[in-house]
Amino acid sequence: MGWFSKLLLPGRLRTGPTALLPARPDPKTLLAVAQLADPEARTDGDDILAGGSRIEVPVELTGDVLAKLGVPDSDTLWACRIAAEGPLPVDFFDKSLAEGIAYRLGGWSLCQGEPLDPAEETVDPLVYLPAVPEPEEILPVLTEALRHADAVDAERWPDGELIEGVVHVSVRRGRVADVYAGADVQVTIEEGHRLPPAAQTRWPYLTEIAIARVSPVVRTEETGADDAAGAASGEAADGTTEDVAGADAAPLDGHADTTSDADAGSGTDATADTGSAADADSGSDADATSDTGSAADAGANSDTDADPDVEDTASETDAEDADEARAALLVRADVAVTLANALRGIAADSRGFQLAEPADALPGGYA
């Protein structure tokens, strides 16, 4: 690569979607990942063609170029730029392709100058279906796949019907056709979507498909009996939250005012004391100052000693949250794969990459 090409490289990578990878990907591995999004993806020289986009040959990036791209804490990355070959079959498929490649190979995605770690984004598995399934067809599958709900949340689903542990809401408005919910997972059936490459390969005769979106159930917060009427509306709930926040802050403000008043009072008393007591007060003030200083030093030392424990606790909490998020994602992916197998659909993640098994939804699977 010439010096002029290197000079223009950061700008080219910013403008087009790019996957930034920690190691140079094996060509066969990169092709296999691309075929998850488009089963008909193929090599074209050193590049790969997938879904009307070209995955260019990986280019090594060093620290100076990465600094210009705004990617932190990295000395060397490999960039796979995605370039559209023509009209894309699905809007922003090239961006989804870059994010999906980075997600599976443990890297970053770069689009319009903004680096993104796809593993930090919450993704909801999808199921591509040729048509909206009838309740009699999908309910038996969800009854086995979902953890059962105990009752219908009348506030969230006033028209919901509990059928064998699954809440069914027939919406039939706009794009949403039906909603099915268990205790912690919700399946939303949407119709009228354009065909992504994976679905176009399976159903080339269709012009649009239905999508089952598997997401977490959003639970309403529990409130007391006195606040039940207010919690029925979003405005009342917001107002209650603000009032509670104000009530929590009030004691702190009052405590601060009381402390300042006490300090002002002690200062007045000290000024009133004169005469021979001044020497004694001076000595006691000096002792108090030294005591205060030693106490402050001790407090600072104790805080310093406590910092590693606080950091360890925070890291453990983050690790637990990450484990919980991975477990919840596996549960949703398992529901998606089960639905796809039962209804002869295609399980995929939110970026259009197929899922053969639930573990395929986890990040870094091909790293």
CB atoms within 10 A of CB 163: 14
Give the pLDDT score at 1.
42
Answer for the pair 223, 137: CB distance below 8 angstroms, yes or no: no
Q: Which of 343, 347, 341 is nearest to 359 (CA)?
A: 347
* Spatial CB neighbours of 363, under 8 Å, sequence gap ≥ 6: 103, 104, 106, 118, 119
Answer for the pair 367, 119: CB distance below 8 angstroms, yes or no: no
- Give me the mean pLDDT over the 63-73 stretch: 71
Q: What percent of the chain has pLDDT over 90?
A: 50
> Is residue 113 over pLDDT 90?
no
Two tokens at 190?
Answer: 């949407």
Reported confidence tier of residue 73, pLDDT bands at 50, 70, 90: low
> Is residue 296 over pLDDT 60?
no
- Give me the mean pLDDT over the 172-186 stretch: 94
Tell me the angle at which helices 27-37 and 93-104 cross, rounded to the nearest 10 degrees.
130
115 vs 108, higher pLDDT: 108
Q: Which of 303, 295, 363, 299 is nearest to 329 (CA)?
A: 363
Give the pLDDT score at 121.
86
> Is residue 154 over pLDDT 50?
yes
CA angle 352, 358, 360 (to 5 degrees): 55
Reported confidence tier of residue 277, pLDDT bands at 50, 70, 90: very low
Reported confidence tier of residue 122, pLDDT bands at 50, 70, 90: confident
> Is residue 214 over pLDDT 90?
yes
Give the pLDDT score at 123.
84
- Give me the mean pLDDT over the 249-268 stretch: 38
Identify each DSSP E strand in the chain by its residue range.
Answer: 18-21, 42-44, 47-50, 53-55, 59-61, 77-84, 108-111, 114-116, 126-129, 161-163, 166-173, 176-181, 185-193, 209-216, 346-348
Rounded (10°) CA dihedral 333, 187, 103, 113: -170
Two tokens at 306?
Answer: 């406590």
Q: What type of residue is 98?
A: A
Strand, coil or helix: what is 129? strand
